[in-house]
Copies of this chain bind each other. A is one copy, B any other.
């Protein structure tokens, strides 16, 4: 573990959350408050919460659980003293019976006393570590969103929760692919090492040029695609398991925390 964040860096994350809370930033948080841990969000009714936690424990690569609220409490004090999960993400997706029914920039009006929020680690943390190590990331260079794909890989079911894994893809030269595996393996709490590289069909991706979310891939001769388990996986699980109600972040529109990525690096 590194030294605790300094006041100035905490302030940077809090000021960004203030902008988001005030509705002045509703776009992706990619590259913002650099060095800060960003998190995926899943909100479920309390009668699904223990099953979701069990699902995270059973699927630590797509769902690395870093914090959970009490029912009805929108605070995540271990991630930031001021966090309110109802207003502090730029964009949310609302699901009813497993169907995405709306996108919101604030969910205060939808909040209920039985809702439990889960924060999951996000690949933005290891992307920062890759860039710090001089490993270039094509979609960041090109100002695009990361490409994500639904796969044919089953997650490990827990209670009523089941579904296929979603992965994010980054392409590298072979030496950089090796570096990327080395570096991300040091971040098991933010998805860790990739789950696959090479042939997309081997994990049930029919066409790598057609991601589910994100921009178009730009894979050049001699480069290899690496696939990481992705924190969007719970959204595919919600679609498969159909809980009555669920709110998640929208891909790329993350919870920016006061914690630093470096705190989540294994020694």
Contact = CB atoms under 8 A, between A and B. Distances in A.
A174 B196 contact: yes
Contacts of A178: 181, 193-197
Contacts of A193: 178-179, 181-182
A182 to B, nearest CB: 4
A222 interface: yes
A224 B198 CA distance: 9
Interface string A168-200: 000000110111011001000000011111110
A145 to B, nearest CB: 24
A267 B186 CA distance: 11
Contact of A182 (B185, B197, B267): B185
A202 interface: yes
Interface in A202-251: 202, 222, 224
How many copies of this chain? 2
B182 A202 contact: no
Contacts of A174: 196-198, 202
- Interface centre among A177, A178, A179, by most chain B C-beta atoms within 10 angstroms, is A178
Contact of A195 (B175, B194, B197): B175
A181 B179 CA distance: 9
Nearest to A226: B178
- Interface centre among A174, A195, A196, A199, by most chain B C-beta atoms within 10 angstroms, is A174
A221 to B, nearest CB: 11
A175 B181 CA distance: 12
Given A174-B197, A196-B175, A202 B181 contact: no
Nearest to A267: B267
A187 to B, nearest CB: 11
Contacts of A197: 174, 177-178
A178 to B, nearest CB: 5
8 nearest CB pairs, A to B:
A182-B185, A181-B181, A182-B193, A178-B193, A267-B267, A174-B196, A178-B181, A178-B194
Given A177-B197, A198-B198, A199-B222, 7 more contacts: A174-B196, A174-B197, A174-B202, A178-B181, A178-B193, A178-B194, A181-B193
